[in-house]
Amino acid sequence: MADFRRVEPVTILLACVAGALFGALTVATRWGVVRSEDPEAGAFMTTSVAAGVGIVAALAAVRPSELAWHELWPFLAIGVLIPGTAQVLFLYAVRAAGASRVAIVIGMAPLASAVIAVGAFGERPHAALYAGTVLIVLAGASLAWERARPVDFRAVGIALAVTMALLFGLRDNLVRVAAEAREPPPVAAAAATLVGGAVAVLLYMAVRRRRRLTAGLRGSVVAFLPAGLALGLAYVALVAAFDRGSVTLVAPFNATQSLWGVLLAAIVLGRSDAVGRRLILAALLMVGGSALVGAFR
């Protein structure tokens, strides 16, 4: 466990800010989906704005002459998976299941990351992993038993959110391998990941739409600008937190993103997201389980 007596308060603050911004991302995405009928254009706008935020942060923190560009390509490739492919799934998931429910389900990503690490990299399981798994399963059960749901709720959104959680777990392990082989500045690696995401969505749109590539982009600028800012700033805050503190310290605070997603959905979206007691209970259980898994790895 981390020794809190030696931790700078700014590290905890950055981790909390990252968790809040990732929670806000689901709400901002739902806000954009309501105002735009083009999820694909929204995904491109979100990743493009986020990439711009990452590039600005990287240029402010690192001189271009100090970068070894060949060290960044693995992170660019990882960005094709997440946030690239995942961002398209994310928008469809939020549109189908609502912001708060997607935020809760994606909160199981630390468990997916740990399970992949145990199976693929021989990481030893621990008691906290089992305890965290129980809490996360209970969170899922609480979601399954809830009675009040949005009018337009579709179960496929939950399935997409589970897929995203698995992708996040895979991303974490791929970043781990890439970071062990190369050591680029963390902010530059984050920027490369975000740029990779924007390129992936653009290529996806080019193949799917062909001549209709630019259709819907203009209407998505304002609708998905908040989501793009939230995604970009969340990545920057999280990377800055990990740069200053250990995973055991940062992960539990970042795990609060599920709870933030539910609380912000209740405040911003109101009754349309149907936030009830069981949903709040599911968020608390998910945060507790994810925090346990992340803190003791």
Mean residue pLDDT across the chain:
84
Residue 211 parent element (H or E): none
Give the CA distances from residue 187 to residues 11, 53, 172, 233, 234, in Å, rounded to whole numbers and listed in that order: 15, 11, 16, 11, 12
Q: In the structure encoding, which two tokens stand for residue 242, read together?
A: 């990990």
Confidence band (pLDDT; 50, 70, 90) for 205?
A: confident
Name the DSSP letter for residue 245.
S
Cα–Cα distance between 232 and 22 in angstroms, integer? 10
pLDDT tens by residue, 40-77? 888 889 999 999 999 999 988 888 777 777 788 888 99
Q: Are 276 and 104 in contact (CB under 8 A)?
A: no
Cα–Cα distance between 130 and 125 in angstroms, integer? 8
Confidence band (pLDDT; 50, 70, 90) for 215?
A: low
Residue type, 197: G
pLDDT of residue 197: 93
Confidence band (pLDDT; 50, 70, 90) for 224?
A: very high
Of 71-75, 223-227, 240-244, the range with the lowest mean pLDDT is: 240-244
Name the DSSP letter for residue 151.
T
Cα–Cα distance between 107 and 114 in angstroms, integer? 13
Q: What number of CA atoms fall less than 13 Å from residue 81's CA on the CB side? A: 17
Q: Which residues contact 112 (CB under 8 A, 6 or more apart)?
A: 165, 166, 168, 169, 170
Q: Residue 248: is its pLDDT beyond 80?
A: no
Confidence band (pLDDT; 50, 70, 90) for 147?
A: confident
Cα dihedral 32/34/39/41 (nearest 10): -50
Q: Residue 231: is its pLDDT beyond 90?
A: yes
Q: Are 197 and 46 in contact (CB under 8 A)?
A: no
Rounded mean pLDDT, 106-111 = 86
Candidates 185, 19, 46; CA nearest to 106 is: 19
pLDDT tens by residue, 150-174? 777 888 999 999 998 898 888 888 8
Cα–Cα distance between 216 and 36 in angstroms, integer? 8
